[in-house]
């Protein structure tokens, strides 16, 4: 039993797209908090040139975010959370238009031609954006925890601390020459998926059904089934060789369902052999 080839993450769908959304949003939050910290330093010390480090920190528009928020219902994202994330990315575009020209004009120890009052106003916009990111992060974390088995919880803890510091006006991550030390996120990459086209069996509370496995990763498996299951239902997937893996149904749509494993498979697992 061998996998055939690595599955591309583009275009992702369903549970894979939800995981991609979590990854992309965490990275956006990290960048927003870093820029806000630079703003804090510039205002506190009245040194606009410290914004020069921001020029490489501004988030770029992500096709993953666009796809995920456009299909929020299909990937199982709550409506309120989807609306919050949409607002954050709209506000982010406005905040970038205010700050990016200033950051690009900032040279080494020579600031752009901008008053302290204007700098304070722009910093306030970024702190408000950071506050909104913190709220959205807290709303996303419970959803990500049960669907991704806590894989990205470490990120949320690191980001939450970084956001709170930036919101409070702190800037300890910015040194005397304006360089920014961004925290390292414990989980930065999406889990690689592999094609696995084979019949298998899934057992739930009231159903024992034959299904087709479509893809697999170290954290879960994608199945195609004609039977009805329930979201968050605990199941056992039995592969063709008799191997049984316990997991939880985390996504369902049009006869497709994704099961998140209770225990992560090792990278050396025979399922990933080439």
Q: Which two tokens stand for residue 16?
A: 């894979």
Q: pLDDT-based confidence at 1, cuts 50/70/90?
A: very low
Looking at residue 190, its pLDDT comes to 60
Residue 213's nearest CA partner among 165, 259, 154 is 259
State pLDDT tens for residues 196-219.
888 999 998 888 889 999 888 888
Q: What 8-state DSSP symbol labels residue 192?
A: P
Looking at residue 12, its pLDDT comes to 55
Which of helix, strand or coil describes residue 152? Answer: coil
Looking at residue 70, its pLDDT comes to 92
Mean pLDDT score, 255-272? 85
Whether residue 83 is predicted with pLDDT greater than 90 in this model: the reply is: yes
Looking at residue 109, its pLDDT comes to 63
Mean pLDDT of the chain: 87
The Cα–Cα gap between 172 and 161 comes to 12
Whether residue 5 is predicted with pLDDT greater than 50 in this model: the reply is: no
DSSP secondary structure string, 25-75? HHHHHHHHHHHHHHHHHHHHHT-GGGGGGGGGTPPPP-HHHHHHHHTTTTT
Handedness of CA 181, 89, 253, 4 (dihedral sign): negative
Phi, psi of 258 (to 5 degrees): -115, 135
Q: Are strands 234-238 and 220-224 parallel, antiparallel or unpaired?
A: unpaired
**CB-CB neighbours of 66 under 10 Å:** 12
Looking at residue 6, its pLDDT comes to 38
Q: Considering all CA atoms of the chain, what is the largest pairwise distance in Å, rounded to the nearest integer?
A: 70
Helix (H) or strand (E) holding 272: none
**Are 83 and 72 in contact, with CB atoms under 8 Å apart?**
no
Q: What 8-state DSSP symbol labels residue 200?
A: E
Whether residue 9 is predicted with pLDDT greater than 70 in this model: the reply is: no
**CB-CB neighbours of 30 under 10 Å:** 23
The Cα–Cα gap between 40 and 34 comes to 10
State pLDDT tens for residues 112-133.
788 899 999 999 999 999 999 9
Task: Locate the domains of the chain by residue range.
Answer: 9-167, 193-272
Q: Which two tokens stand for residue 17?
A: 């797209």
Mean pLDDT score, 171-188? 87
Phi, psi of 233 (to 5 degrees): -70, 135
- In CATH, what number does 193-272 get? 2.40.10.220
Phi, psi of 36 (to 5 degrees): -60, -40
């Amino acid at each position: 039993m061998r996998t055939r080839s690595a599955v591309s993450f583009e275009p992702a769908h369903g549970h894979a797209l939800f995981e991609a959304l979590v990854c992309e949003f965490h990275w956006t939050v990290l960048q927003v908090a870093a820029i806000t910290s630079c703003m804090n330093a510039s205002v506190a010390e009245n040194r606009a040139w410290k914004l020069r480090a921001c020029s490489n920190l501004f988030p770029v528009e992500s096709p993953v975010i666009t796809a995920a928020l456009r299909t929020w219902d299909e990937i199982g994202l709550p409506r309120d959370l989807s609306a919050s994330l949409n607002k954050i990315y709209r506000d982010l575009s406005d905040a970038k238009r205010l700050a990016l020209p200033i950051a690009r004009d900032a040279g080494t120890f020579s600031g752009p031609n901008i008053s302290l009052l204007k700098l304070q106003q722009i910093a306030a916009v970024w702190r408000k954006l950071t506050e909104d990111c913190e709220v959205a992060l807290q709303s996303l974390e419970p959803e990500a925890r049960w669907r991704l088995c806590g894989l990205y919880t470490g990120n949320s803890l690191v980001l939450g601390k970084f956001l709170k510091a930036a919101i409070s006006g702190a800037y300890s991550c910015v040194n005397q020459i304006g360089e920014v030390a961004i925290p390292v996120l414990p989980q930065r990459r999406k889990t690689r998926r592999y094609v696995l086209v084979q019949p298998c069996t899934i057992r739930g509370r009231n159903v024992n059904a034959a299904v087709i496995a479509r893809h697999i990763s170290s954290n879960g498996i994608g199945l195609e089934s004609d039977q009805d299951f329930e979201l968050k239902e605990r199941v056992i997937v039995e592969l063709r060789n008799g191997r049984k893996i316990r997991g939880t149904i985390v996504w369902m749509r049009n006869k497709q369902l994704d099961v998140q494993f209770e225990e992560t498979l090792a990278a050396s697992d025979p399922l990933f052999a080439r």
